[in-house]
Amino acid sequence: MEKKSASEETINLLYNNMGVNIELLFPSLCNCVDTIKQLKVSVSRRSADYRAELLLTMLEIKVFAITIQLDIFTFLRADFRTKHPCEKRINLKYVNVAILEGCKYIQGFGKDTKHSKLSILREIGQSNDDSELCIDVLSLKNSLDDFLKLYNNLNDKTNRDLALHYDQNPLKVYEFLEQISEEVEVSRVIKWFDVLKVVSQTTEKYIKKYESMLSENLDSSSFIVDMYKQINIFPDKDNKIYNSTDEIIRTYSNRLDSIIRNCRLSEKIGKTMNSKFQIDVGAIKQFCQPLIHDVYPGIHIHYIYLDLACALKAYFTSESFVERQLNLRRITVILYDGFARIYGYNDAQKDQSFWKGICSNLQHSEDVETKKLLIKTQKVLDDLSKDQSINNPTLRECFIHYRKGKIDNVIKLHEETMKAFPIAEMAKSMKLLIVLPDIIKLNATSLAVVNRSLEQSFEEKKNENRDSLYSILDMIPNAELKKKFKNDIIDKFEDILIKFKR
């Protein structure tokens, strides 16, 4: 039986329920963070009473469980608020990232398993002959294993890396984005929430069991959070920024689609020739590959531009303080990672940056307007590279990884997210957002320079391949087949070359 897509009524109900849950979960998160801080003051993990370490660990896991729910709700609500395919996929890609980071937090992968929360709980249980805890840990592990059988294949891990780091081959990133499905991601979330249900039941059991060790919670964060709610507001006068992000998403996603179609033409023709004429087209594909590689930096820059625009739009359409701050956290990560690829923070990154390639190709340009734009853009990028609030790898790591090795990030993540100042983050975002079209323009100019320098070689190769194709054409006796070969292969081959020369 064919599956039916969720109705608009169902989606609206789910959207509203997630919004309600965000408001219900956040006070519990703040309360739990306060409890951990107070408990750390009064007891030590090295205490002779193992229950202190167990209680602290359970509270940290509870903070994680609430945090990942808030993250997933925020990403899905941003997805549900838009109809544009590109924007939906960019919002949805972070769902897979959050869940895989969640699996790493609880159980870990490879050598990292020894630092996972399951390993810590198992060690506490075994070291203290706590059979009840050992049974509960095994139950939690079984629940997670059931989930991982469905969603821990090589493809899921690869997609997580593509979502965050971008691949050296941007065509792989595009293929990943094409495959993202709202239905698949929602199904993944439903299965993951089955795991979180077991997590919550386990943490609540032991927090309640040892609650006598907790002092009365003074709710010290409520005042601070209320203060942040008052000051962490960024006014978007006349929806100017929101409207600009909407235009960016529509315009540059179309441009990206067009670039990718051109990059795929040689492969498409190759498949046509192989299937219809049994001709080896390796030479033609090899001939086109250097031209395609030259386009890669421009594709990467489009991804960064669209990623930032979608995150900004998600921020401006957020309906609560918590959602806004979580989307602001996402903006911070994109700023750090995007700028590292475009310009770089240190000499090693700058040597591999897109900007170095652009400048190298345009340094001898005689065009006055190009020189002016190059100097103007260089200044903006140089100023941004000196901003230590962007170049903050520690904060970026905390914002992505719920746990990194032995370091549990959930408390710091919460605190940094709450105090993130939108006016400062927006100032940096707008600088990059405004300069990115200039970088894309300069990259196109740079690409034209590269193509002109290769023009003679290009013409020689083009003529050589054209002659080869026409020699094949002459060998085809059937007039109809001959005409089809001319239309499907030779004309399309010429079309590829014209597009790449542009």
Whether the pLDDT of residue 476 is over 90: the answer is no
Q: Which domain does 118 fall in, by range?
A: 8-231
User: Do 221 and 262 belong to one domain?
Assistant: no
Residue 160 lies in a domain: yes
Q: What is the arithmetic mean of pLDDT over 126-148?
A: 95
Cross-strand bridge partners of residue 404: 407
AA identity, residue 48 = A
- The whole-angstrom separation of Cα 327 and Cα 76 is 12
Per-residue model confidence (pLDDT) at position 358: 94
Reported confidence tier of residue 464, pLDDT bands at 50, 70, 90: low
| Cβ burial, residue 263 (10 Å; 0-12/13-18/19+) | buried
Residue 90 lies in a domain: yes
User: Do 266 and 137 belong to one domain?
Assistant: no
User: Do 197 and 220 belong to one domain?
Assistant: yes
pLDDT in tens, 9-18: 889 999 999 9
What DSSP assignment string belongs to 169-197?
SHHHHHHHHHH--HHHHHHHHHHHHHHHH
The sign of the CA dihedral 127, 133, 135, 140 is negative
**pTM of this prediction?**
0.86
Per-residue model confidence (pLDDT) at position 200: 97
Per-residue model confidence (pLDDT) at position 262: 84
User: Do 380 and 461 belong to one domain?
Assistant: yes
Reported confidence tier of residue 407, pLDDT bands at 50, 70, 90: very high
pLDDT in tens, 288-341: 677 778 889 999 999 999 999 999 999 999 999 999 999 999 999 999 999 999
* Range in 40-44, 208-212, 445-449 with the lowest mean pLDDT: 40-44
DSSP3 helix / strand / coil % (the chain, rounded to 5): 80, 0, 15
User: Do 120 and 266 belong to one domain?
Assistant: no
Residue 414 lies in a domain: no
Per-residue model confidence (pLDDT) at position 10: 87
Please give the tally of structural domains in the chain.
2
Examine the fold and report which residue of 183, 216, 231 is the final residue of a domain before the chain moves on: 231
Per-residue model confidence (pLDDT) at position 4: 52
Question: For residue 234, what are the contacts with CB-CB under 8 A and spacing of at least 6?
Answer: 315, 422, 423, 426
User: Do 216 and 250 belong to one domain?
Assistant: no
User: Do 146 and 280 belong to one domain?
Assistant: no
CB 370 within 8 A of CB 358: no
CB 324 within 8 A of CB 232: yes
User: Do 220 and 262 belong to one domain?
Assistant: no
Q: What is the arithmetic mean of pLDDT over 365-373?
A: 93
User: Do 226 and 262 belong to one domain?
Assistant: no
User: Do 222 and 252 belong to one domain?
Assistant: no
User: Do 223 and 263 belong to one domain?
Assistant: no
Whether the pLDDT of residue 357 is over 70: the answer is yes
Examine the fold and report which residue of 202, 231, 260 is the final residue of a domain before the chain moves on: 231
User: Do 102 and 243 belong to one domain?
Assistant: no
Examine the fold and report which residue of 185, 215, 231 is the final residue of a domain before the chain moves on: 231
